[in-house]
Structure 1
Amino acid sequence: MNIKLGIVMDPISTINIKKDSSFAILLKAQEKKYKIYYIEIHDLFLIKNKSYAKSRLLRIEKNEKKWFFLGKEEYIPLSSLNVILMRKDPPVNIQFIYATYILESAEKSGVLVINKPKSLRKFNEKIFATHFPEIIPDTLITSNTILIRQFLNKHQDIIIKPLDGMGGKSVFRVKKNDPNISVIIETMTKYEKSYCVLQNYLPEIKEGDKRIFIINGKPFPWCLARIPKSGETRGNLAAGGIGKPKKLNQEDFKIANYISNPLKKMGLLFVGIDIIGNKLIEINITSPTGICEIESCCDKSITDLIIDTIEKKILKIKNKSINI
C-alpha cells in the first residue's frame, strides 16, 4: 500500500532516538516504504476551509550522530496525505488547540488523523481519568486553597500535580503538617489562579507506575513499570525512574479492558494509560511514550500493531469513498 504519512511533532533535532516513541513508529513506517512528511505545529495553516502545511520529506536512520535527513520545503494540502500522526508533546496550550481545528479540517477531507483532533481538544489527560470514577483514586481538581487543605486533612498523604505537566515535572507529595504546604499550594495554584489535580497517595507506587498501551481498542499484553529511584515519589523516566517491562496481570487487563471500547469510540487509537496498583491515574492521548523500552524486552511489536491499525483504517476510508 502506497501511503503518505504526515507527522506533527516537536523538533526532530531534539529527540533521544533510544527512547522516542515517535521515532520508533516512523522507523516502522519507513520500513513499510511510507512516504513521510515532517511537520511542526507552527507549519500548519488554513485557507478558507482547506488545511495545508509547510512540510519536508523525511528520512531517518538509527544513528545517534545523525538520525534524520530532510528534503526541501514544500507546501502541501493535508488532504493529499493518507494519515497524520499528531505527536506534539504537552502542554496542550492554545497553539495546540488551534492545530486541532486545522487537523479536523483535514480529517473531514478523508485523512485519518491519530488521535482524533476533536478528542485531543476535548479531553485533558489529567482530567480524562475522572470519566471513570469507579477505578481512579480519590481525586480533586481545584485552585482553591481551602479545598486543598481539606483534601490533605482527609487523606494525610497526597500527590499534587499541574494539569498541563508531563514527565513528572512539578509533582509534589505532601503529608499533613508539612512545613512547606503553604508555599507548595501558592506555587501550584499561582495564588489560586491555576488549577491543579490532587490524588490520595498510593503506596503501590513503590512497585511502579505502569504505562499500558491501548491500540485500536485492545490492550497490549506488556507494560512498562516505571519504578521510582530511592527517595523519590515519581516513577517517570524523565524524573529518574527505572523502567522495567512486565506482562500485564489480571487487574491490569481488567482496568484496560474497562476503558478500551470507550476510547476507540472517541477515535483515540493509540493511548497510554497509567496505573498504580489497581487504580487508573492518567489517560495519555497526545504523545504517549514507552514503546522502545517495552519492545526491547518482549517478542511482540507495538509499532507493528500501530501500522496495522493505520492500514486497516485507511482501507476502510477508501472503500467508504468508493461506495459513495
Structure 2
Amino acid sequence: MKIAFLADPLSGFKTYKDSTFAMMREAARRGHAVFAFEQRQMFLENGVVQADVAQITMTGDADDWFRAAPAELHSLADFDAVIQRKDPPFDMEYIYGTYLLEMAERHGARVFNKPSAIRDHNEKLSIAQFSKYTSPTLVSSDATRLRAFHAEHSDVIFKPLDGMGGAGIFRVREDGMNLGAVIESLTALETRTIMVQKYIPEIVKGDKRILLINGKPVPFALARIPQGGEVRGNLAAGGVGVAQPLTARDREIAEDLGPQLAARGLLLVGLDVIGNCLTEVNVTSPTCFQEITDQTGFDVPAMFIDALEHQVAGN
C-alpha cells in the first residue's frame, strides 16, 4: 500500500514515544510505502484536493530517523490510505483541514479517521453521548451556572473544550480558591464555552487511556499517574504512564462504545477513563502506542496496521 500521513513536522517527533512514528515504522516493516505531508502543504484547486507529499525512508536511527525524498504533487486519491495525525488545538485551521480531507474523499481518497467524524466528535463534548458512563458534567459559558455547579459538587475540574495534553485544566476545591479567576480566564469573561466536572478522586491511580482500533479495545490501558501534587495525569503534564490490563468496567465501556464509534468512521479512538468514569473521547491523534507495547509486549502498532490493511482491502 501507499500510505500518506498528514502530521506535524517530522523533525519534531520524539521517536521513543511517538505513536505516528510507531505506525510509520510498522507500515514500512511490512513493505508499505510511507509518505508524509503537513496541513499547510494541502490545497484545493479546480475542485481537486492535492498536497506536496514526500516519500519517507526509515533509517532505524532513533535520532536521525528518516530521509525524505523531494516532495511531489499528488492528489490525495493517489494513496491507498491517508492517515490524519495532526495534533490539536482543534481550531478553525484544523476544521478547514477536515473540510479539505472530506472533499478529497469525494474524489476517492480513503481518510482515517473520517474527517466528518473527527469534526463531529469534540473530544470533551462527545462524552455527553454516553452520559451513563460519566461523572456529573456541565458545559456552559455562564458564570452563574458554573458557580452553582461548584457549589453543588464542592470539588470540581474546569477545562477548555479545545485543548490537549492537560492544558488549561484547573481543580477548584470546596474553599472556592480562585474560582472567579478560573471562570473569568477560561470563559474569557463569559464569551467562551467550557466544561466543568465533578472531581473524580481515583485520578490518583491514573487517567487511563484505552485504545480502540476498528471498534476493538487494546487489552491494556495506560494509566497516566499524576506526579508531585499535580491533578493532571497527562504525559505532557509530567504524568507517569503505567500499562495495566483493562478492568471489567474499562472493558464494559470500550465494548459498548467501540462498535458505535467504528461505525461512524473512527478507526482509532482513545478513551480516557478515570476510576469508573469516561472523561474524554479522543479522535484527532490518540497516542500511547509505544508505552503500552514497551511495557506489555502487546504490539499496538501491528494491531493498527492490521486494521488499516483490512479496511483498505475491504473497499
* TM-score bracket relative to the smaller structure: over 0.9
2:50 is the alignment partner of 1:55: no
What does residue 283 of structure 1 align with?
A: 281
Q: Which secondary structure state, in structure 1, belongs to the residue aligned with residue 244 of structure 2?
A: strand
Residue 224 of structure 1 aligns with an amino acid whose one-letter code is: L
TM superposition shift of 1:255:
0.8
What does residue 99 of structure 1 align with?
A: 97
TM superposition shift of 1:122:
1.3
What does residue 263 of structure 2 align with?
A: 265
Q: Deviations over 1:166-225 (max 9, x none)?
A: 111111000133331111111111111111111000001111110000000111101100
Residue 25 of structure 2 aligns with an amino acid whose one-letter code is: L
Runs of 4+ residues deviating >4 angstroms: none
2:243 is the alignment partner of 1:245: yes
What does residue 217 of structure 1 align with?
A: 215
What does residue 152 of structure 2 align with?
A: 154
What does residue 110 of structure 2 align with?
A: 112
Aligned residues, how many?
315
Residue 31 of structure 2 aligns with an amino acid whose one-letter code is: K
What does residue 127 of structure 1 align with?
A: 125
What does residue 34 of structure 2 align with?
A: 36
The one of 20, 23, 44 aligned to 2:21: 23
Question: How many percent identity over aligned positions?
Answer: 39
What does residue 321 of structure 1 align with?
A: none
Bigger Cα displacement from structure 2, 61-70 vs 226-235: 61-70
Contact 1:210/1:275, CA 8 A, preserved across alignment: yes
What does residue 161 of structure 2 align with?
A: 163
Q: Deviations over 1:284-311 (max 9, x none)?
A: 0000011110000123211111111111
The one of 291, 294, 297 aligned to 1:296: 294
2:190 is the alignment partner of 1:192: yes
2:75 is the alignment partner of 1:77: yes
Residue 308 of structure 1 aligns with an amino acid whose one-letter code is: D
Q: Distance in 1 between matches of 2:103 and 2:57?
A: 27
Contact 1:90/1:165, CA 8 A, preserved across alignment: yes
What does residue 143 of structure 1 align with?
A: 141
Q: Which secondary structure state, in structure 2, belongs to the residue aligned with residue 297 of structure 1?
A: helix
Residue 29 of structure 1 aligns with an amino acid whose one-letter code is: A
Q: Distance in 1 between matches of 2:62 and 2:181?
A: 42
Q: Which secondary structure state, in structure 2, belongs to the residue aligned with residue 194 of structure 1?
A: coil
Bigger Cα displacement from structure 2, 239-248 vs 105-114: 105-114
Q: Distance in 1 between matches of 2:13 and 2:265?
A: 27
TM-score by structure 2 length? 0.97
Contact 1:141/1:196, CA 8 A, preserved across alignment: yes
What does residue 179 of structure 1 align with?
A: 177
Contact 1:17/1:62, CA 8 A, preserved across alignment: no
Q: Which secondary structure state, in structure 2, belongs to the residue aligned with residue 149 of structure 1?
A: helix
Contact 2:210/2:270, CA 8 A, preserved across alignment: yes
Residue 103 of structure 1 aligns with an amino acid whose one-letter code is: L
Q: Distance in 1 between matches of 2:61 and 2:126?
A: 37
TM superposition shift of 1:29:
0.7
Contact 2:90/2:163, CA 8 A, preserved across alignment: no
Q: Distance in 1 between matches of 2:141 and 2:13?
A: 34
Q: Distance in 2 between matches of 1:311 and 1:297?
A: 25
Contact 2:223/2:241, CA 8 A, preserved across alignment: yes
Residue 294 of structure 1 aligns with an amino acid whose one-letter code is: I
Contiguous gaps of at least 5 residues in structure 2: none
Bigger Cα displacement from structure 2, 107-116 vs 308-317: 107-116
Residue 300 of structure 2 aligns with an amino acid whose one-letter code is: I
Contact 1:209/1:226, CA 8 A, preserved across alignment: yes
What does residue 322 of structure 1 align with?
A: none
Counting only pairs closer than 5 Å after superposition, residues 305-324 of structure 1 correspond to structure 2 as 305-317=303-315
TM superposition shift of 1:62:
4.1
Bigger Cα displacement from structure 2, 271-280 vs 175-184: 175-184
Q: Deviations over 1:31-69 (max 9, x none)?
A: 111111211011111123221101111122343331221
Contact 1:291/1:302, CA 8 A, preserved across alignment: yes
The one of 198, 202, 205 aligned to 1:204: 202
Q: CA RMSD in A?
A: 1.1
TM superposition shift of 1:82:
0.4
Q: Distance in 2 between matches of 1:167 and 1:142?
A: 22
2:234 is the alignment partner of 1:236: yes
Residue 137 of structure 1 aligns with an amino acid whose one-letter code is: S
